[in-house]
């Protein structure tokens, strides 16, 4: 039977044939190579048979869905062929991403019964493990590949004596399209694929979104370099004398980029291993469940069964005179990719982004001035500890101007001028090499054409329920574009919830217990309510505080400028909020989040044995302080 092989649904450029007319091919073998955007992809055969005709040549532009060759296919039934009871059948090593795999673990032994489709053995290719099963039921007769040995893809690893049972025909796979490949989108894509979906991920830039490319990861890499630099400069007290310590800015930038590249490559590998199709392009709605995808200036239409929107957010650019065309003004992305270390920087905005970059650059020698319109920094964090954090940053040379309004940006021979109005109404002009504008982020919806689908938005965000469903059936939205807590880890959780609901499960997003972290020097983290919120709610609560200057590990690390603060219900002791300023507290906050998720009390923390010496044992001391019985601090 003659079968027609067509190109992908998207327009491609044909590169080369791997077969010729007259060649015999097997299902899954490579027929040709094509170029999809900037990526090379293979086209494989779905049939066993003989190639009869090649219809395109290298260099040809191939429209989406166009016919490229014909194969005289051998007729074979879909799925496994029924076999009689007593027949010996092979267990084949398939569904692995590489050419071979290491046999990791056998779940069955010779003589064990095996159900159709039941996993028999686990194989590991690279860092990815896959369970191998047999479509036939019966008794495992022999194992041909021992644990720890390598086996080639397609090889026989075991044999089963069939009992006449077998799996049924495979149901059509749900088609899911994910728009955006950030920490919400790629997690949603992988989770949907795990649940059996045929997933297409559309990303206009690099996989990883803001988080991996221009946010969480590169910022923390920059901070790591800054912290190492400061450690080298100030290591004499611990007996380490470092001479001629200097900063190699090009190496700092290469390290930052290298960390991002490694993580991005890892995510790309996971997407491939999970069978996710990645398209580099821009998607917009052309109907309720219809997407127009633009790639290399050409449009292609996708009509998936389910759609998950994960377009993320971008920096807010305030309409202040002189900002738009001033090359000395940069956003957070620009602040990560400077060609040289500026001698001075003014940061507009005292939120998390501004504070993190302020600490990084100040530690590397840049003179930092922060201008903030509000009367405090980091409004999501506990005020008491925020004031301590501000004092610590001031001691490091960072200057703060709170309740100060920016009115204009100007160019000058000395750099960029920032014209401001101080609290008392007087005008003050600041001048610096660079000005970082970090006043917040907004959802990216402008290219999505959500109105074409009738998707409801509110104040620039997509409206969703706790299942991440929009008002349009089978269309979901996650991450920064829904305007809830705009953090990478919340986007990932939303992605899992959306994917599970798209695949028929019943998942709910609950951000009641969600840690917030500021990667400053020292670190700052919190979970739950802060004291200002409890006072506003007129809640009855107790407070426990413990200084890290009384913690042995903090003293060893020479990082004693910090506190742990626990807020607990006055009546039952249930933990209402935990706020920590100090070394590695962005790791330590997980203990507090777990405790709150489980409804723990300060008594639960007190009766949990904490290892010594660790910063974590200060958590127990803070819990003891709630009951006014801390051991190591009075």
How far the first Cα of the chain sits from its last, in Å, is 87
Q: Are 164 and 84 in contact (CB under 8 A)?
A: yes
Distance, CA of 116 to CA of 133 (rounded, Å): 8
Distance, CA of 140 to CA of 137 (rounded, Å): 9
Q: Which residues of 90-122 are buried (b: 16+ CB within 10 A; e: fewer)?
A: ebebeebbeeebbbeebebeeeeebebeeebbb
Distance, CA of 454 to CA of 463 (rounded, Å): 12
Is residue 579 part of the annotated active site? The answer reads: no
**Pairing, β 175-179 against β 306-309:** parallel
Q: Angle, nearest 10°, between helix axes 216-233 and 249-273?
A: 140
Rounded to 5°, angle at Cα 470 from 465 and 476: 100
DSSP per residue, 315-357: E-----TT-TT-TTEE-HHHHHS-SS--SEEEEE--SHHHHHH
Rounded to 5°, angle at Cα 436 from 434 and 441: 160
522 preceded by a cis bond (ω within 30 of 0): yes
Q: Are 398 and 362 in contact (CB under 8 A)?
A: yes
DSSP per residue, 505-562: -------SS--EEE--SSEEEEEE--HHHHHHTT--EEEEEEEGGG-HHHHHTT----
- For the chain, give the longest Cα–Cα distance: 94
Of 461, 489, 607, 612, the active-site residue reads: 612
Distance, CA of 160 to CA of 240 (rounded, Å): 64
- Both tokens of 530, joined, read 């802060």
In what helix (H) or strand (E) does residue 472 lie, and over which residues does it extend?
A: none
Residues labelled as active-site residues? 612
């Amino acid at each position: 039977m003659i079968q027609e092989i067509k190109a992908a649904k998207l327009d491609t450029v044909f590169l080369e044939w791997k077969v010729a007319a007259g060649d015999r091919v097997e299902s899954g073998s490579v027929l040709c190579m094509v170029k999809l955007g900037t990526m090379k992809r293979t086209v494989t055969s779905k049939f066993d048979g003989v190639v009869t005709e090649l219809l395109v040549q290298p260099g040809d532009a191939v429209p989406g869905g166009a016919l490229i060759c014909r194969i005289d296919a051998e007729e074979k039934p879909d799925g496994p062929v029924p076999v009689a009871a007593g027949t010996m059948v092979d267990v084949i090593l398939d569904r692995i991403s590489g050419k071979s795999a290491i046999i990791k673990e056998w779940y069955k032994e010779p003589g064990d019964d095996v159900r159709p489709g039941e996993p028999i053995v686990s194989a590991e290719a690279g860092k990815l493990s896959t369970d191998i099963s047999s479509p036939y039921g019966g008794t495992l007769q022999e194992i041909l590949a021992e644990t720890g040995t390598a086996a080639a893809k397609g090889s026989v690893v075991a044999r089963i004596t069939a009992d006449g049972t077998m799996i049924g025909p495979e149901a059509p796979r749900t088609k899911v399209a994910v728009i955006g490949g950030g920490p919400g989108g790629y997690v949603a894509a992988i989770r949907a694929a795990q649940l059996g979906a045929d997933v297409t991920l559309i990303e206009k830039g690099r996989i990883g979104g803001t988080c991996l490319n221009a946010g969480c990861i590169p910022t923390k890499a920059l901070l790591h370099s800054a912290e190492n630099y400061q450690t080298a400069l100030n290591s004499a007290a611990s007996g380490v004398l470092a001479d001629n310590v200097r900063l190699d800015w090009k190496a700092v930038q290469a390290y930052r980029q290298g960390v991002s590249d490694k993580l991005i490559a890892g995510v790309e590998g996971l997407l491939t291993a999970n069978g996710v199709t990645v398209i580099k392009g821009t998607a917009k709605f052309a109907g309720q469940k219809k997407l127009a995808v633009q790639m290399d200036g050409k449009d292609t239409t996708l009509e998936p069964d389910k759609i998950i929107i994960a377009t993320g957010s971008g920096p807010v650019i305030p309409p202040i005179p002189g900002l738009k065309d001033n090359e000395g003004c940069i956003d957070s992305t620009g602040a990560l990719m400077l060609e040289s270390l500026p001698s001075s920087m003014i940061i507009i905005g005292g939120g998390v982004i501004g504070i993190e970059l302020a600490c990084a650059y100040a530690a590397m020698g840049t003179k930092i001035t922060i201008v903030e319109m509000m009367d405090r920094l980091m409004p999501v964090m506990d005020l008491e500890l925020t004031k301590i954090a501000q004092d610590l940053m001031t001691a490091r040379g960072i200057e703060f101007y709170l309740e100060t309004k920016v009115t204009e940006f100007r160019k000058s021979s000395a750099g960029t001028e920032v014209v401001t109005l101080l609290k008392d109404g007087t005008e003050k002009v600041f001048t610096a090499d660079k000005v970082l504008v970090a006043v917040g982020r907004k959802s990216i919806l402008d290219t999505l054409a959500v109105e074409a689908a009738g998707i409801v938005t509110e104040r620039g965000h997509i409206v969703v329920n706790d299942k991440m469903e929009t008002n349009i059936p089978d269309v979901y939205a996650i991450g920064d574009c829904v305007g809830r807590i705009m953090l990478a880890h919340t986007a990932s959780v939303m992605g899992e919830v959306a994917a599970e609901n798209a695949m028929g499960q019943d998942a709910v997003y609950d951000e009641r217990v969600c840690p917030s972290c500021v990667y400053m020097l020292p670190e700052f983290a919190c979970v739950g309510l802060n004291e200002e919120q409890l006072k506003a709610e007129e809640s009855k609560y107790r407070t426990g505080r413990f200084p890290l200057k009384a913690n042995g590990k903090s003293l060893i690390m020479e990082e004693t400028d910090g506190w742990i603060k626990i807020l607990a219900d006055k009546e039952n002791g249930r933990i209402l909020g935990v706020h920590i300023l100090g070394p590695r507290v962005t790791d330590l906050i997980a203990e507090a989040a777990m405790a709150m998720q489980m409804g723990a009390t300060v008594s639960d923390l007190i009766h949990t044995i904490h290892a010594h010496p660790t910063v974590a044992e200060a958590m127990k001391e803070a819990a003891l302080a709630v009951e006014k019985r801390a051991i190591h601090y009075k």
